[in-house]
Amino acid sequence: MHSRHSLFSSTLSSVPPYTIREYQPGDEEAILETFNRVFSGVDPNFVPRTLEEWRWTYTDNPSGWRISLAVTDDGQVISQYAGIAQRMLLDGEPAHFSQAVDSMTDPAFRGGLKRPGFFVLTGYPYAEGYGGPPPDKDTVMWGLPVPPAWRIGNLYLKYELIRTHLKLIADPDALELPGLGQHGVDIEELTEFPEDAEELFLEHAARHGAMAVRDKQQLDWRYTQRPGYDYHIAAARRRGRLVGLTIQRAGSFDGAPGSLVCDWICGKPTDAIAPFDRGAALEMLAWHKHRAIAGGAGPLTALFPDTAPEWIGFQEVGFRARDTSYFLVGRNYVKQYDMRWLRRHWYYTLGDTDLA
Amino acid sequence: MSNRPDPAERVDSKDRTFGDYQIRPFQPGDEASLLEAFNLVFAEGNPDYVPRTMAEWRWAFQENPAGTRIMVAVKDGQVVAQNACLPVRVWVGGEERIFGQGVDSFCHPAHRAGLRRPGLWVKTVWEFIDEYGGRDKDLLHYGWPIWSAWRIGKTFLKYEVVRTQNLMVRPLATNPRTDAELDAHLAELEVERFDIGAGCDHAGFDEQARWLWDRLAGDWGASAIRDAAFLNWRLTAHPRHRYTVLATRKDGILWSYAIYRHGDWTEKDMGLCVDWLAPAPAHADADHAERLHAGLIALAESNHGGRATTLTGIFPDPSPEFTRFQERGWRVMPSEYFMIGHHYHRRYDMLWLRKHWWYTLIDTDLV
């Protein structure tokens, strides 16, 4: 991923010579300088990102990083196309997906929609360099774009819609959770993830065609090591065996404050009817309920694919579906994993996104 | 059309010929040939297929009060491909316009082979779009395509997804009533009932339907005009299906209605909420909606038209009914369907439609 341009087009005649290339150590501060300038210009509530946060997002992620840059000869970052990598289990085999985030172009160098601008110029080598078959390339790239990014991504970068997204919300007081304390499940709060998280993840993943890896290393990175965010972690154990993990934090989703069900991993069913360990699920929801009430943050909000059993299960205990402004889009690099397949088989939660 | 390939691939713009094929709007006299090809294509691989009759075809395409939208490809006098829409009058942006629901598209199997993509069907759609779509013509062509049609459509026809479609489903208790018992219960709710459609002689809706729609349509950015012309074509004159109308009145004037049918759709023996036009929860007359809903559940549980264990409908997820129906025991379920569209005015793109377009099952040809 390395190409040299002296001029992009006559309309961008003021562009200095630049190179489109992958991130290199040492680019961090230039990336951040442009990032903070670009996003503070469009969001009055924007809080500048720190170097520590940037490193956590990209170089500290155990699944790797994905960054394509347009950089001037003097080191200024004109544009970035970036993604958060995810190690995946895809049809039971190791694979990678990535979530497109933080894409930006310095407003001084933006091209219009009709002529591919830097967003697209950095996006092409990103797709070419990182997209491809498993296990090492990203089989699927995905995102929750704002409308302008969606229009460009759809037109130039082959992104397609996977799902228009609904959320599940509940007044914690209104949740109906039968048989609490009678399921043989103990709930404990944790400050870091247990080693047997991976075993639980494998149980959960076996019910889905695609799921991002949730082992101790990945979960600790996502929830206990993230700078500036406080997550509460609960583990469900049945006779000492880990049968559920869930995470909550107070925060906003789609502009609505509340208590976010950030992650949800539940073990295999204990009977032939339930699609997951129902007792563990009820006890974990009770933990969410009590923590949400105690925290006073507002309604519980969860995000699941509507094809996941959790989508129905959460409605059965009092969650209700509401529309959101989000829509999930993707681009697949292996034919069989098209948007319809992803809609049917990919399990994800709020914690898969950068929104919680 | 920017999706079209180089000019050599295009249909001749003067006489709309493409090789041995002529692509042109439907003309009287095409009916028999069109129907023959249609029944042949749709019977392919479907042993349960019930051939469409000429009466059904005329109802769908010639008796629709909003008009006819058919482009055919003809070879040696035989219709071999079709792209068609069921147009519907829609109130959008302060004026009456046409949306068209794509239905019944086909290409005769003998005319699919030997053609490089884009094939004959795509070329037929291109001519359809040129004929009927535009800022000053049909504003939107929409549909719920099968996957193979979607793949062609997104590649060549500018199809975009409005939304992945969820269904609203409510479990039903078993509470069978005779018609007399049901009517007595509905009378307590001050809900009236009548059947319309195939085999019924009820006259259907009158001008009060439009009055009701006029009172409620201000809540929506776009919706099909539910007046007597539309409802009596879509429901009362339907040649195959029978529907039950539940209605409430205020001082004798129609104040809400629900349309129910028992039938097969995504599953066998479903209770279907075909349409719903009632004051939303924020309206002063929302009690009409509550009584109507109670009547709808009683009707569905009474096995009217057949035994159903669930009641299924759709509402756009931004609508107040999407929320209110969940409070009434309905749950939101996934489906394989997705609403797609090809819009002809930048203002009414998929994001706008997702937020502002009110539709229910009556806006499809599925029930």
Q: A87, A82, A28, A99: which is closest to A62 by C-alpha?
A: A87
In Å, how far is A255's CA from the nearest CA of chain B?
A: 15
Contact call for residues B244 and B299 (beta carbons, < 8 A): yes
Please state, as a whole number, how many other Cβ atoms lie within 10 Å of the Cβ of residue B204.
19
Residue-wise pLDDT for A329-342, tens only, equals: 999 999 999 999 99
Q: Is the pLDDT of residue B364 over 90?
A: yes
CB contact under 8 A, A312 and B322: no
Query: How many Å apart are CA B105 and CA B113, to the nearest integer?
Result: 17
Nearest CA in chain B to A322: B317
Residue-wise pLDDT for B180-225, tens only, equals: 999 999 999 999 999 999 999 999 999 999 999 999 998 899 999 9
The rounded mean pLDDT for chain B is 93
Q: Tell which wins on pLDDT, B168 or A116.
A: B168
Q: Is the pLDDT of residue A6 over 70?
A: no
- Is the ipTM of this structure higher than 0.90? yes
Q: Given pLDDT bands bounded at 50, 70 and 90, which one contains residue A14? A: low
Output the pLDDT for position B43: 94
Contact call for residues A108 and A56 (beta carbons, < 8 A): no
Output the pLDDT for position B14: 59
Output the pLDDT for position A30: 97
The rounded mean pLDDT for chain A is 93
Contacts of residue B332 in chain A, CB cutoff 8 Å? 166, 306, 311, 315, 321
Average pLDDT over residues B102-123: 81
CB contact under 8 A, B164 and A311: no
Query: How many Å apart are CA A171 and CA A154, to the nearest integer?
Result: 37
In Å, how far is B198's CA from the nearest CA of chain A?
A: 36
Q: Is the pLDDT of residue B13 over 80?
A: no
CB contact under 8 A, A160 and B323: no
Please state, as a whole number, how many other Cβ atoms lie within 10 Å of the Cβ of residue B342.
20
Contact call for residues B99 and B138 (beta carbons, < 8 A): yes
- Can you tell me whether residue B360 is helix, strand or coil? coil
Please state, as a whole number, how many other Cβ atoms lie within 10 Å of the Cβ of residue A228.
10
Best A163, A164, A168, A332 residue to mutate vs chain B (most B CBs within 10 Å): A164
A317 and B CB contact within 8 Å: no
Please state, as a whole number, how many other Cβ atoms lie within 10 Å of the Cβ of residue A97.
28
Q: Which residues contact A213 (CB under 8 A, 6 or more apart)?
A: A63, A86, A87, A88, A89, A198, A201
A176 and B CB contact within 8 Å: no
Best A323, A326, A329 residue to mutate vs chain B (most B CBs within 10 Å): A323
Containing B299, the helix (H) or strand (E) segment is helix B286-301
Q: Which residue has the tokens 């075909």?
A: B274
pTM of the model: 0.93
Radius of gyration, alpha carbons of chain A:
21
Query: How many Å apart are CA A339 and CA A275, to the nearest integer?
Result: 24
Tokens of A245: 């993990």
CB contact under 8 A, A323 and B332: no
Average pLDDT over residues A151-176: 95
Q: Is the pLDDT of residue A64 over 50?
A: yes
Output the pLDDT for position B113: 53
Least confident interval from A2-11, A250-259, B73-82, B112-121: A2-11
Average pLDDT over residues A249-272: 93
Output the pLDDT for position A115: 67
Phi, psi of B246 (to 5 degrees): -110, 140
Contacts of residue A163 in chain B, CB cutoff 8 Å? 164
CB contact under 8 A, A343 and B164: yes
In Å, how far is A149's CA from the nearest CA of chain B?
A: 13
Q: Is the pLDDT of residue A114 over 60?
A: no
A256 and B CB contact within 8 Å: no
> Angle CA(B329)–CA(B335)–CA(B341) in degrees, nearest 5?
115
Q: Is the pLDDT of residue A112 over 50?
A: no
How distant is the alpha carbon of residue A343 from its chain centre?
16
Contacts of residue B317 in chain A, CB cutoff 8 Å? 164, 166, 321-323
In Å, how far is B46's CA from the nearest CA of chain A?
A: 23
Question: Can you give the three-state secondary structure of chain A, one letter per residue?
Answer: CEEEECCCCHHHCCCCCEEEEECCCCCHHHHHHHHHHHHHHHCCCCCCCCHHHHHHHCCCCCCCEEEEEEEECCCCEEEEEEEEEEEEEECCEEEEEEEEEEEEECHHHCCCCCCCCHHHHHHHHHHHHHECCCCCCEEEEEECCCHHHHHHHHHHCCCEEEEEEEEEEECHHHCCCCCCCCCCCEEEEECCCCCCHHHHHHHHHCCCCEEECCCHHHHHHHHHCCCCCCCEEEEEEECCEEEEEEEEEEEEECCEEEEEEEEEEECCCCCCCCCCCHHHHHHHHHHHHHHHHHHCCCCEEECCCCCCHHHHHHHHCCCEEEEEEEEEEEEECCCCCCHHHHHHHEECCHHHCCCC
Output the pLDDT for position B111: 87
Contact call for residues A329 and A99 (beta carbons, < 8 A): no
Radius of gyration, alpha carbons of chain B:
21
Least confident interval from A55-64, B2-11, B39-48, B211-220: B2-11
Q: Given pLDDT bands bounded at 50, 70 and 90, which one contains residue A221? A: very high
**Looking at the DSSP assignment, which residues form a beta bridge with residue A329?**
A143, A161
Q: Tell which wins on pLDDT, A291 or A12.
A: A291
Q: Is the pLDDT of residue B15 over 80?
A: no
Residue-wise pLDDT for B130-167, tens only, equals: 999 999 999 999 999 988 888 888 888 889 999 999 99
Q: B110, B113, B102, B116: which is closest to B80 by C-alpha?
A: B110
Q: Is residue B266 packed enough to be buried (19+ CB in 10 Å), middle (13-18) or exposed (0-12)?
A: middle
Q: Is residue B96 packed enough to be buried (19+ CB in 10 Å), middle (13-18) or exposed (0-12)?
A: exposed
Q: Given pLDDT bands bounded at 50, 70 and 90, which one contains residue B8? A: very low
Domains of chain B, CATH where assigned: 7-158 (3.40.630.30), 167-336 (3.40.630.30)
CB contact under 8 A, A323 and B318: yes
Q: Is the pLDDT of residue B273 over 50?
A: yes
Best B161, B165, B324 residue to mutate vs chain A (most A CBs within 10 Å): B161
Q: Is the pLDDT of residue A16 over 90?
A: no
In Å, how far is B189's CA from the nearest CA of chain A?
A: 28
Select the residue of A147, A312, A323 nearest B351 (Cβ to Cβ): A147
Looking only at the bridges linking them, the beta strands covering B222-224 and B78-92 are antiparallel
Q: Is the pLDDT of residue A2 over 90?
A: no
Give per-residue burial for A127-144: e unless 16+ CB within 10 Å, then b.
bebbbeebeeebbbbbbb
Query: How many Å apart are CA B289 and CA A117, to the nearest integer?
Result: 51
Mutual orientation of helices A278-295 and A309-316 as an angle, nearest 10°?
60
Select the residue of A163, A315, A323 nearest B331 (Cβ to Cβ): A315
Tokens of B171: 């479990």
Contacts of residue B162 in chain A, CB cutoff 8 Å? 164
Tokens of A74: 């003097």
Most confident by average pLDDT, A144-148, A273-277, B95-99, B120-124? B95-99
Residue A322 backbone class (left: φ over 0; alpha: ψ -120 to 50; beta: rest): beta
Output the pLDDT for position A271: 78
Contacts of residue B171 in chain A, CB cutoff 8 Å? none
Query: How many Å apart are CA A196 and CA B112, to the nearest integer?
Result: 56
> Angle CA(B51)–CA(B56)–CA(B62) in degrees, nearest 5?
135
Query: How many Å apart are CA B164 and CA A338, to the nearest integer?
Result: 15
Peptide bond into A135 cis (omega under 30): yes
Select the residue of A161, A164, A315 nearest B332 (Cβ to Cβ): A315
Containing B129, the helix (H) or strand (E) segment is helix B120-132
Q: Is the pLDDT of residue B339 over 60?
A: yes
In Å, how far is B140's CA from the nearest CA of chain A?
A: 19
A166 and B CB contact within 8 Å: yes
Average pLDDT over residues A247-271: 94
Looking only at the bridges linking them, the beta strands covering A160-170 and A186-190 are unpaired
Q: Is the pLDDT of residue A82 over 80?
A: yes
Least confident interval from A271-280, A309-318, B68-77, B160-169: A271-280
Average pLDDT over residues B258-273: 96
